[in-house]
Amino acid sequence: MEEDDDAEIIFPYEVQGDQTPPPRGERDLEALRRHERIREAESETGRTEVALLRSEAKIGKME
């Protein structure tokens, strides 16, 4: 096989940037944080729903 002096080798990481995934521990930590944010949002939504239901119950008693 003959080498072509004009050939240019292009490495994907040079063209696209570093696509290396983070180490497993960091991925797990990111997933845990994402899951925790979702749980917090769901919890906050639940508290808001309970507060609204209590308000509706109070209004119903006043009528």
The Cα–Cα gap between 50 and 37 comes to 20
50 located within any domain = yes
> Looking at residue 51, what is its pLDDT?
86
Residue 21: predicted pLDDT: 66
For residue 31, report the phi and psi dihedrals to the nearest 5 degrees: -65, -40
Is residue 16, in this structure, part of any structural domain at all?
no
The residue type of 30 is E
Q: Is 18 among the domain residues?
A: no
- 15, part of any domain: no
Domain that holds residue 58: 23-62
Other CB atoms within a 10 A radius of the CB of residue 29 amount to 12
46 assigned to some structural domain: yes
Residue pLDDT tens, the chain, 63 long: 455 556 666 555 555 566 666 667 777 888 889 999 988 888 888 888 888 888 888 888 777
Query: Which helix (H) or strand (E) segment is 38 a member of?
Result: helix 24-62
Q: Look at residue 49 and tell me if it is in a domain.
A: yes
Number of domains observed in the structure of the chain: 1
Domain-embedded: residue 41? yes
Query: Tokens 């808001």 identify what position?
Result: 48
